[in-house]
Amino acid sequence: MSECRDCAGCGPAAVLPFPSGAATKAVAVIGPPNSGKTTLFNRLTGLRQKVANFPGVTVEQHTGIAELADGQIVELIDLPGVYSLSPHSEDEQVAYDVLTGRRDDTPKPEAILLVLDSTNLSRHLMLAAPILSLGLPTLIILNLADDLRNRGGTLDTEALAKELGAPVALVSARQGEGIEQVRDFLAGAMALPLPRSLPVLHDVPKCREWAGLVGSQANYRAPIAPKWTRRLDRVVLHPVAGPLLFALVVIAVFQSIFSYVTPLMDGVKWLFEVSGNWIAISLPPSLIRSLLVDGVWKGVGSVIVFLPQVLLLFLFIGILEDSGYLARAALIADRTMARFGLQGKSFIPLLSAYACAVPAIMSTRTIENKRDRTATILIAPFMTCAARFPVYTLIIAAFLPNRQLLGFLSVRTVAMIGLYALGFVMAVLTARVLKSSILKSGRTPFLLEMPAYRWPTVQSLGLRLLDRSKVFLRRAGTVILLVTVLLWMAAHVPYTHGHPPAIRDSLAGTLGRTIEPVIKPLGFDWKIGIGLITSFAARETIIATLGAIYGMDHPDSKSMDLQSALRQDLTPGAAVALLIFFAFAMQCVSTVAVVRRETGGWKWPLAQFAYMSALAYGGAFLAVHLWRFV
């Protein structure tokens, strides 16, 4: 009676109970942040999903296929974590639109899995009111049953089901406990919820009162406070130990992805060398062989070498996120972020941007404030992403010795941390300027729920890594492969007297020499120029490009590796300039595309691209000229 709009979806519901066997059923998964909704989704589909303890990380809608025991297939739609269905934020809007069939891109769900945290039932039950009022078949899943039990909480699921007029399942998605009940619901004829008197949906106090009442009817006894979380927080949020731990975590992550992963990378490199030689031997000398070995194999191989490193970085981010530490890190970072006009919630996207700006920019949707969000999007590409990393590694390794400083840090690690800091400082300065001018905003309250600490599960970490390697390899297999092949062709025309031209006289060489006057002031020659041109597709492509160019330039000498070639062509000052250019420039088509999508136009991505390019050029120019005084 109170919300006609919420009932708009129940009209055609009468057709539902027996869906035709041929069509797949679409079922929505919804729940508040931290209800373990994504873990359940992973458990049911086995497909990739971001699992986090951080409120609202699941912003994108993810769909997955759950195969049931009888071979039936159900399509699951994982909706963003929301506290209510009143469409006030973007997340709630998306959830509301999907559930009521207002989105063209998503089928209207035939049923709903409502996931609630059983250890905080009274508050989480508030979401049951708007969901049940939609009139779709609904299974109420009380997750984290193991936590509830361990901490001495109890409830009567049958009484709760009776109270709500819908089936209730007590499960632990992490342990797999009770999952059969969910599968049974998906497989069976799904009954519509029985009519119950629900509270006025937009009145939060009334909803809470209703939820509390329902909980007490079901004899809900709330569990005692999580002892370990409290104990850990006393250390993690300690005024002295907390920031120290924060710094330690950051250093540990960087040190391990720069030092300890080297043997793995050498292994991958070796594999590519051996297989490249094998291809070279087994094929007759021809253009095709040259394309395969010098173009494709060398080019793509020089990028894939970095896969172990990228994965290790994602493993760390995953562990921090799933364990619950990331929310504490956001809390510790909030005050600093506030100084630059941002907030703790910007910390998560910015930290993800260390892996890749694209998912980071997508995850800014958790920031309710539009202006804070735009500012975060605009500065995210300054964070040192995984694609910059191989470029930095290559240049640093070519120009700096692997000497130890202070006994445990290598000079290279220090240089790398410096570059990371450089990107961060520029991001922060940019944010400051933006937030005190065009993106100035009123203060919206910063609210951050602290989830209980949990052990990350191997499954969720594994799925995340699998997904990341797919993304990385897809890039290597598409954008980078395409650029490598185009480059190889540009390096082999014009073909004269049955011989390819010297690389200098080829189309690629001509292009490089055309832009040479522009980049000469930065200390770069035409070869680096070709690399820079290709790197605007994706940063790490420059390695493939330079690998191919130097390979063609000195076809006979195998010993002429990339590092020594670079040392010949770049002065130390120019090497620093190149590093700075890469630290600041927005060389990534995917990022430009995602910024356009997320900001709804070309205005921001173009301004961002121009700004970052100017900064890159200016920074590199300054660096190469100042270096002379060093």
Per CB under 8 A, the list member of 102, 103, 123, 151 interacting with other proteins is 123
The residue (of 62 and 328) whose beta carbon lies closer to other proteins is: 328
Residue at 15: amino acid letter: V
The answer to whether residue 332 forms part of the interface with other proteins (CB under 8 A) is yes
Site residues for other proteins, 204-223, by CB under 8 A, read 204-205, 208, 222
Phi and psi based region of residue 152 (left: phi greater than 0; alpha: psi -120 to 50; beta: remaining) = left
Least gap, CB of 442 to other proteins (angstroms) = 9
Q: What does the alpha-carbon distance between residue 525 and residue 114 come to, in Å, rounded to a whole number? A: 60
Q: What is the DSSP letter of 188?
A: S
The answer to whether residue 457 forms part of the interface with other proteins (CB under 8 A) is no
Q: What does the alpha-carbon distance between residue 41 and residue 65 come to, in Å, rounded to a whole number? A: 10
Long-range contacts of 371-374 (CB under 8 A, 24+ apart): 371/435, 371/439, 371/440, 371/441, 372/341, 372/342, 372/343, 372/345, 372/346, 372/435, 372/439, 372/441, 372/444, 374/439, 374/599, 374/604
Least gap, CB of 314 to other proteins (angstroms) = 26
Contact 399, 241 (CB under 8 A): no
The answer to whether residue 151 forms part of the interface with other proteins (CB under 8 A) is no
Would you state the structure tokens that stand for residue 410, as one six-digit string? 């290598």
Site residues for other proteins, 351-370, by CB under 8 A, read 368
The stretch among 114-122, 297-305, 468-476, 550-558 that binds other proteins (CB under 8 A) is 114-122
Least gap, CB of 86 to other proteins (angstroms) = 8
Per CB under 8 A, the list member of 19, 88, 409, 486 interacting with other proteins is 88
The stretch among 142-150, 233-241, 380-388, 600-608 that binds other proteins (CB under 8 A) is 233-241
Q: What does the alpha-carbon distance between residue 511 and residue 506 come to, in Å, rounded to a whole number? A: 9
* Nearest of 40, 84, 83 to residue 62 by alpha carbon: 40
The residue (of 443 and 497) whose beta carbon lies closer to other proteins is: 443
The answer to whether residue 504 forms part of the interface with other proteins (CB under 8 A) is no
The answer to whether residue 84 forms part of the interface with other proteins (CB under 8 A) is yes
The stretch among 10-18, 448-456, 509-517, 537-545 that binds other proteins (CB under 8 A) is 448-456
Least gap, CB of 235 to other proteins (angstroms) = 10
Least gap, CB of 309 to other proteins (angstroms) = 31
Per CB under 8 A, the list member of 41, 83, 536, 581 interacting with other proteins is 83
Secondary structure of 241-305 as H, E, C letters: HHHHHHHHHHHHHHHHHHHHCHHHHHHHHHHHHHHHHHHHHHCCCCHHHHHHHHHHHHHHHHHHC
* Nearest of 434, 424, 322, 335 to residue 380 by alpha carbon: 424
Per CB under 8 A, the list member of 109, 167, 344, 547 interacting with other proteins is 344
Q: What does the alpha-carbon distance between residue 525 and residue 513 come to, in Å, rounded to a whole number? A: 8
Reported residue count of the chain is 630
The answer to whether residue 237 forms part of the interface with other proteins (CB under 8 A) is yes
The answer to whether residue 331 forms part of the interface with other proteins (CB under 8 A) is yes
The stretch among 121-129, 186-194, 312-320, 538-546 that binds other proteins (CB under 8 A) is 121-129
The answer to whether residue 120 forms part of the interface with other proteins (CB under 8 A) is yes
The residue (of 119 and 352) whose beta carbon lies closer to other proteins is: 119
Q: Strand, helix or coil at 267?
A: helix
The answer to whether residue 414 forms part of the interface with other proteins (CB under 8 A) is no
Q: What does the alpha-carbon distance between residue 253 and residue 309 come to, in Å, rounded to a whole number? A: 11
The answer to whether residue 131 forms part of the interface with other proteins (CB under 8 A) is no
Q: What does the alpha-carbon distance between residue 282 and residue 177 come to, in Å, rounded to a whole number? A: 54
Per CB under 8 A, the list member of 100, 119, 323, 591 interacting with other proteins is 119
Least gap, CB of 522 to other proteins (angstroms) = 41
The answer to whether residue 130 forms part of the interface with other proteins (CB under 8 A) is no
The stretch among 133-141, 439-447, 461-469, 581-589 that binds other proteins (CB under 8 A) is 439-447
Question: What would the DSSP string read from start to end of 297-364?
Answer: IHHHHHHHTTHHHHHHHHHHHHHHHHHTHHHHHHHHHHHHHHHTT--HHHHHHHHHTTT-HHHHHHGG
Least gap, CB of 428 to other proteins (angstroms) = 18
Contact 567, 345 (CB under 8 A): no
Least gap, CB of 338 to other proteins (angstroms) = 8
The residue (of 3 and 184) whose beta carbon lies closer to other proteins is: 3
Q: Strand, helix or coil at 599?
A: helix
CB atoms within 10 A of CB 1: 7
The residue (of 338 and 485) whose beta carbon lies closer to other proteins is: 338
Contact 316, 257 (CB under 8 A): yes
Calculate the alpha carbon distances from 326 to 52, 316, 413, 450 in Å. Answer: 9, 11, 24, 10
The answer to whether residue 224 forms part of the interface with other proteins (CB under 8 A) is no
Sign of CA dihedral 356, 358, 364, 365: negative
Q: What does the alpha-carbon distance between residue 321 and residue 304 come to, in Å, rounded to a whole number? A: 26
The stretch among 330-338, 350-358, 461-469, 585-593 that binds other proteins (CB under 8 A) is 330-338
The answer to whether residue 324 forms part of the interface with other proteins (CB under 8 A) is no
Strands in 25-30's sheet, in edge-to-edge order, are 62-67, 73-78, 25-30, 111-117, 138-143, 168-170
Cα 71 from chain centroid?
A: 33
The residue (of 205 and 284) whose beta carbon lies closer to other proteins is: 205
Sign of CA dihedral 378, 382, 383, 388: positive
The answer to whether residue 225 forms part of the interface with other proteins (CB under 8 A) is yes
Residue in the structure block whose two tokens are 């900001």: 599
Residue in the structure block whose two tokens are 């082999």: 492
Per CB under 8 A, the list member of 17, 152, 195, 243 interacting with other proteins is 243
The residue (of 280 and 338) whose beta carbon lies closer to other proteins is: 338
Least gap, CB of 337 to other proteins (angstroms) = 11
The answer to whether residue 444 forms part of the interface with other proteins (CB under 8 A) is yes
Per CB under 8 A, the list member of 24, 122, 217, 441 interacting with other proteins is 122
The residue (of 341 and 512) whose beta carbon lies closer to other proteins is: 341
Would you state the structure tokens that stand for residue 231, as one six-digit string? 């104990």
The answer to whether residue 280 forms part of the interface with other proteins (CB under 8 A) is no
The answer to whether residue 443 forms part of the interface with other proteins (CB under 8 A) is yes
Kindly state the number of chain residues that form the binding site for other proteins, as judged by CB under 8 A: 36
The stretch among 80-88, 273-281, 354-362, 541-549 that binds other proteins (CB under 8 A) is 80-88
Question: Residues in the site for other proteins, rule: CB under 8 A?
Answer: 83-84, 86, 88, 119-120, 122-123, 126, 204-205, 208, 222, 225, 233-234, 237, 239-240, 242-243, 331-332, 334-335, 338, 344, 368, 443-450
